[in-house]
Amino acid sequence: MGPKNLPDEEKAHILAWKLDNVPSSEICKRTGRGKSTIKHLLTTACGLPPNVIPPYKTSGRPRKTTKGTDNLLQREVLKDPGITAARLKKSHPCLHAEASQRTIQHRLQKELKLPSQCAARKPLLTDHMHKQRLDPIVAPNAKRRRYEASFKLKVVAYAKSHNNCAAARECGVTEKMVREWRSKEHLLRSIPMNKCAMRRGTAHWPNLEKHTVDMVHEQRQNGYSVSRNKIRIWALKWAKANKEHSKDFKGTASWCSRFMERYDLVLRKKTKISQKLPADLDCKITNFHRHVIQQRKEHGYPLSNIGNMDETPLNFNMVGNHTVDTTEHEQTQFTVALSCMADGTKLNPMIIFKRKTMPKIKFPAGVFVHVNEKGWMDEQGIKLWIDHIWCGNMLAPELDVLCEFVIKAWSDINVETVIKSFKKCGISNSMDGMEDDMLWEDEDETEAEATSSDLEFDPYDEAAINVSQDVLEELMMSDVDDVDFEGF
């Protein structure tokens, strides 16, 4: 339906068709107007001459003030924006005979485009009206205003400290606005401070969008970049497989923009390396430490057999936080498996490229290369890592290394150990039989006695060292058997 006010040309056509006895239903089809509009036009034209077109209908009552009175009112308002109708009546008695106080109030509000106020219940001009009267040029265009979220929160704070009516008077808004803003305070704090409206369209395909946003979160959690085209392709694939939940879905660019706005998704936002830690992290760490300590006590693993292996996905082109152009290489991923031991040993890295065939190039030493269709570490990759990285290739050492090992080991043998070995075999023992007991001594007991004797302090050790061999032989080989040895 078009506007109710008909142009003069269209009115002339309708009247001409009616003179030609064209039915009203046919006129409605030709013009696209309603029957009531056509009937009202024909009724108005009945009382007019044949060639006269009915004028437009004017709204409102006829003017009750003259042009001079309007000029007087406008002049007084420009002098004093806060003037009221009662003061005008007192200062200009001539207005009393021409117009009433209510008429003057109506003319003031109509000329300045101010909202009507009931004189019996509310004052003629509120604070907000005074502010609008200060700028009579801007006031006629201020029919509807928009308020930013920062202004709304200030009004809410003032209303909490005072009341809704006081906040409405102070900020120049209605009390209804204050009530609505107080009820939506939590939403106002969640939007940008320079935003005015909180409009957001509802989803036409909620199941499809839920599946799509789950895919986006999964890919970003794994460290992969997600573009707008990927989102649209995933949505179209799901819509094709689930037609009952995605009727008339086309996956347009505008839908993708609205979808990202509904779920607070940012295009080409770099995923953070540090993810949110689970709630039971401390409990899991404690259980892990207990398990490791138990296994080490049970099996006695050396530090060289305790290791860690981690898989890290990488890209050929690491994009920044926000990018505009693309090199088409940020979607090509490969995986690097790094391993190290508790004693500080670093094992060779393992690289898994995203391809089906092994490249025909010679890779540098110190790295193991594998290929996978998706660029991930699978069961076959774990087996290769165990065979080539964990076990390693045991190669024979060089001959000079063996010679150095033998020389070092032979130099570390103590001279006393060699002498004692000969005496243990009974080859270099004393001919007088004083060292024959070494043939039957237990090596462990001898070492224990030597260790304990070394730890004890004997004040006669120094004296015994200074005694000559002749004196010792005379004391030990004495012919007198009944003489007791009293010491030195």
Q: Where are the alpha helices (DSSP H) in 184-266?
A: 185-190, 206-221, 228-241, 253-262
Contact 307, 342 (CB under 8 A): yes
The number of folded domains in the chain is 5
307 and 381 in a single domain? The answer is yes
DSSP-derived letter for residue 370 is E
CA distance linking residue 231 with residue 17, whole number of Å: 58
Give me the CATH number covering residue 244: 1.10.10
| Inside any domain, residue 56 | no
Same domain for 212 and 182: no
Give the three-class secondary structure for 197.
Answer: coil
- Both tokens assigned to 365: 């030493």
Quick one: pLDDT at residue 111? 55
Q: Can you give the pLDDT of all 488 residues of the chain as single tens digits?
A: 445 577 888 888 888 888 888 888 888 888 888 888 888 888 888 877 777 788 776 655 555 667 777 777 777 776 776 677 777 777 777 765 566 766 776 666 665 554 444 433 444 555 555 555 544 434 444 456 788 888 999 999 999 998 998 898 888 888 889 999 999 888 888 888 888 877 666 778 888 988 898 888 888 777 677 888 889 998 999 998 988 888 888 889 888 888 888 887 876 555 555 566 777 888 888 888 888 889 888 988 888 888 888 888 877 655 555 444 444 545 567 888 888 888 888 888 988 888 888 888 888 888 888 888 888 788 888 888 888 887 766 666 678 877 887 888 888 888 888 888 777 776 666 666 676 666 566 655 555 555 554 444 444 444 444 555 565 555 455 454 444 434 33
Do 180 and 135 lie in a common domain?
A: no
In a domain, 293, yes or no: no
Among residues 122, 141, 160, which one ends one of the domains? 141
Q: Is the C-alpha dihedral spanning 348, 351, 357, 360 positive or negative?
A: negative
In a domain, 36, yes or no: no
Compute how many other C-beta atoms are within 10 angstroms of the C-beta atom of residue 177: 16
For residue 334, the surrounding DSSP H or E stretch is strand 333-341
Structural domain includes residue 372: yes
- Gap between the Cα atoms of 45 and 51, Å rounded: 10
Provide the residue type at 430 as one letter. Answer: S
CA atoms within 13 A on the CB side of 308: 5
Residues 385 and 307 in one domain: yes
Query: What is the DSSP annotation of 466-480?
Result: HS-HHHHHHHHT-S-
Question: Do residues 313 and 366 share a domain?
Answer: yes
Decide if 374 contacts 354 (C-beta within 8 A). Answer: yes
75 and 129 fall within a common domain:
yes
User: Is residue 311 located within the same domain as residue 386?
Assistant: yes
Q: How far apart are CA 88 and CA 160, in angstroms?
A: 39
Q: Look at residue 10 in the predicted model and tell me its pLDDT.
A: 85
Helix (H, G, I), strand (E, B) or coil at 372: strand
DSSP 122: S
For the record, the structure tokens of 35 come out as: 């029957």
The strands making up 350-354's β-sheet, listed across from edge to edge, are 307-315, 333-341, 350-354, 368-372
Name all contacts of 43-52 with Cβ < 8 Å and 24+ positions apart.
45/15
- CA-CA distance, 366 to 163, in Å (whole number)? 75
Local structure of 270: helix, strand or coil: coil
DSSP strand pairing (368-372 vs 350-354):
parallel
Are residues 429 and 366 part of one domain? Answer: no
Q: Is residue 38 part of a domain?
A: no
- To which residue do tokens 């305790």 refer? 306
Answer with the one of 164, 190, 216 that is the final residue of a domain: 190
263/240 Cα distance (integer angstroms):
23
Closest to 196 (Cα-Cα) out of 154, 153, 156, 149: 149
Per-residue pLDDT, 128: 59
Say if residues 472 and 434 touch (Cβ distance below 8 Å).
Answer: no
**Residue 169 resides in a domain:** yes
Looking at 214, 234, 262, which one is the last position of a domain? 262
Q: How many residues does the chain have?
A: 488
Tell which residue, 333, 341, 334, 335, has the closest CA to residue 389: 341
Helix (H, G, I), strand (E, B) or coil at 374: coil
Instruction: Evaluate whether residue 424 is within a structural domain.
Output: yes
Dist CA 198 CA 152 (whole Å): 12
Q: Is residue 137 located within the same domain as residue 155? A: no
Tokens of 50: 């044949």
Q: What are phi and psi of 437, to 5 degrees?
A: -65, -15
240: Cα within 13 Å, side-chain hemisphere: 7
Domain span holding position 165: 149-190
User: Do 216 and 185 belong to one domain?
Assistant: no
Does some domain include residue 281? Answer: no
Q: What are phi and psi of 312, to 5 degrees?
A: -125, 120
